[in-house]
């Protein structure tokens, strides 16, 4: 039996990587988890209770006076470097699934306005500059702009008000932009804002210009709809396709359903943390003896973008409660619950961007005794390779990654 659940807590970093200061010098001090715990104690006078994460070894990976120093469950624990430039959800998930994302094209929209506008006009749409700035207004209502929340030039967004446009139109515009965009990801975003979108356009880092999405109200007003359109990938060498091709059913939950976009998987998009974890638990209950489930808790990342430490803490507590349910369900030998992150998003760092941090790797193994310390993962691809090995799949069939654990009966050289 090998029911494998990879739960990505979006934006859960455990300390700055050596190159974290490259885009912003202050990011050398980034520590999403540590700052979150400190802020909670300062605000409430109490520790933030995270019993499931502590039992899984979070305090061993990130020593902190408010976390238990050692796990109490049979786990293997460690940290992972990101293995891709910048700090980006799409690149993080693709890397984790085995895609070689060590090189992504970084480009500001300003350098490609002509070709993007030409493609939009060829699709029958009007595309104009916004008051002479490097932002395109499509049909007088939808904005095409630099993403200000990721590292500069990694992603572009196509944003529109759902009151003015059906999301299908926003998505169609994004697909046209994707057809000519050199960047890793074009993100279609529809939502409800506190006013006209052009009033929330801001200058970003390194010459970027775009919508200040957190300030617009999209994240707090409800009804947010997002679709991630990634650069072309070799899907045959990613974990979901590899597992599905071997006969294991694959379920993608939450943001993972959007960013991984696997045709052979059951996709269950959702944003709310309770829904994401409930759907994940239901998928485990329905799973046969061998299955892969990849799930993403997105609201931690949204709280980081809003620089809202109390909200981040509340979401992390809800996540912890959901982990308790998953641990009870994944109790058979061979089952694996792998808890990790895709980047950092420090809510007190002073800006609304992702932060380039190490992430935890916490692997629950019901048949083990005690816990093992994992080697430092050089890339998130090692997490996917570890899951592949647990499923009995050849990790070498992935585009990238080396297992951190050998499966039961595996060869020597890495911890069991």
Dump pLDDT digits (tens) for 255-294.
999 889 888 999 999 999 999 999 999 999 999 999 999 9
Matching CATH number, 2-103+233-397, of 3.40.720.10, 3.90.1560.10, 3.30.2010.30, 3.40.50.11860: 3.40.720.10
Burial class (CB in 10 A: 0-12, 13-18, 19+), 38: middle
Inform me whether the pLDDT recorded for 233 exceeds 80: no
Burial class (CB in 10 A: 0-12, 13-18, 19+), 197: buried
Q: Are 188 and 144 in contact (CB under 8 A)?
A: no
Inform me whether the pLDDT recorded for 202 exceeds 60: yes
* Contact partners, residue 83, CB within 8 Å, separation at least 6: 95, 101, 102, 377, 378, 379, 380, 381, 382, 400
Tokens at residue 313, please? 């803490």
pLDDT of residue 200: 97
Q: Tell how far CA 84 is from the center of its chain.
A: 13
Dump pLDDT digits (tens) for 308-359.
999 999 999 999 999 999 999 999 999 999 999 999 999 999 988 899 999 9
Distance CA 175, CA 143 (A): 14
Distance CA 88, CA 148 (A): 12
Q: Are 80 and 379 in contact (CB under 8 A)?
A: yes
Q: Are 5 and 338 in contact (CB under 8 A)?
A: yes
| Phi, psi of 154, deg, nearest 5 | -80, -40
pLDDT of residue 1: 66
Distance CA 63, CA 77 (A): 13
| Total-model pTM | 0.80
What number of other Cβ atoms are within 10 A of residue 66's Cβ?
A: 17
Inform me whether the pLDDT recorded for 408 exceeds 90: no
Secondary structure letter of residue 355 according to DSSP: B
Nearest to 191 by CA among 164, 167, 161: 161
pLDDT of residue 102: 62
Return the SS3 of 146: strand
pLDDT of residue 105: 77
Tokens at residue 101, please? 């994302």
Q: Are 269 and 254 in contact (CB under 8 A)?
A: yes
Burial class (CB in 10 A: 0-12, 13-18, 19+), 195: exposed
Inform me whether the pLDDT recorded for 414 exceeds 50: no
Nearest to 380 by CA among 327, 324, 328, 342: 342
Structural domain boundaries of the chain? 2-103+233-397, 109-230
| Phi, psi of 89, deg, nearest 5 | -65, -45
Which of the four pLDDT bands, split at 50, 70 and 90, describes residue 100? Answer: confident
Distance CA 46, CA 317 (A): 14
Secondary structure letter of residue 351 according to DSSP: S
Question: Helix, strand, coil % (nearest 5) of the chain?
Answer: 35, 20, 45
Distance CA 40, CA 240 (A): 37
Q: How many CA atoms lie within 13 A of 157 on its CB side?
A: 24
Q: What percentage of the chain has pLDDT greater than the value 90? A: 84
Dump pLDDT digits (tens) for 210-224.
999 999 999 989 899
| Element spanning 59, H or E | helix 58-61
Name the more confident of 93 and 352.
93
Inform me whether the pLDDT recorded for 412 exceeds 80: no
Average model confidence (pLDDT) for the chain?
Answer: 93
Dump pLDDT digits (tens) for 110-138.
999 999 999 999 999 999 999 999 999 99
Q: What is the mean pLDDT of residues 245-251?
A: 96
Name the more confident of 106 and 335.
335
Q: What is the mean pLDDT of residues 14-32?
A: 93
Which of the four pLDDT bands, split at 50, 70 and 90, describes residue 400? Answer: very high
N-term to C-term CA, the chain: 17
Secondary structure letter of residue 344 according to DSSP: B
Secondary structure letter of residue 232 according to DSSP: P
Which of the four pLDDT bands, split at 50, 70 and 90, describes residue 407? Answer: low
Dump pLDDT digits (tens) for 44-86.
999 999 999 999 999 999 999 999 999 999 999 999 999 988 8
């Amino acid at each position: 039996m090998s029911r494998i659940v990879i739960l990505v807590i979006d934006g859960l970093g455990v300390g700055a990587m050596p190159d974290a200061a490259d885009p912003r010098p202050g990011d050398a001090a980034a520590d999403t988890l540590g700052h979150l715990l400190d802020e909670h104690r300062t605000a409430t006078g109490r520790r933030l209770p995270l019993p499931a994460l502590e039992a899984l070894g979070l305090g061993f990976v990130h020593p902190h006076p408010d976390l238990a120093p050692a796990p109490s469950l049979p786990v293997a624990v460690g940290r992972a470097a990101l293995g891709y430039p910048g700090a980006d959800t799409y690149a993080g998930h693709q890397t984790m699934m085995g895609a070689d994302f060590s090189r992504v094209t970084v480009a500001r929209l300003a350098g490609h306005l002509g070709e993007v506008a030409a493609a939009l006009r060829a699709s029958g749409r009007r595309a104009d500059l916004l008051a002479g700035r490097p932002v395109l207004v499509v049909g007088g209502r939808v904005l095409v702009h630099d993403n200000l929340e990721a590292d500069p030039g990694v992603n572009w967004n196509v944003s529109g008000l759902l009151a003015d446009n059906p999301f299908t139109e926003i998505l169609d515009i994004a697909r046209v932009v994707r057809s000519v965009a050199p960047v890793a990801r074009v993100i279609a975003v529809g939502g409800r804002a506190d006013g006209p979108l052009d009033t929330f356009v801001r200058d970003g880092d390194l010459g970027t210009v775009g919508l200040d999405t957190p300030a617009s109200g999209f994240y707090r007003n409800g009804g947010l709809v997002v679709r991630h359109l990634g650069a072309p990938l070799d899907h045959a060498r990613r974990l979901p396709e590899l597992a599905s091709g071997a006969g294991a059913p694959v379920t993608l939950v939450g943001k993972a359903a959007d960013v991984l976009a696997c045709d052979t998987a059951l996709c269950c998009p959702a944003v709310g943390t309770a829904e994401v974890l409930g759907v994940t638990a239901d998928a485990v209950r329905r799973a046969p003896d061998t299955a892969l489930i990849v799930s993403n808790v997105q609201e931690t990342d949204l709280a980081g973008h809003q620089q809202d430490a109390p909200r981040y803490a509340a979401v992390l507590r809800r996540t912890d409660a959901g982990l308790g349910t998953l641990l009870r369900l994944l109790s058979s030998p061979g089952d694996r619950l792998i808890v990790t992150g895709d980047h950092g998003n420090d809510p007190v760092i002073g800006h609304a961007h992702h932060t380039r941090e190490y992430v935890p790797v916490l692997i629950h193994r019901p048949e083990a005794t005690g816990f093992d310390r994992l080697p430092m993962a050089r890339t998130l691809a090692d997490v996917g390779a570890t899951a592949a090995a647990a499923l009995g799949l050849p990790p070498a069939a992935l585009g990238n990654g080396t297992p951190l654990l050998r499966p039961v009966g595996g060869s020597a050289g890495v911890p069991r």
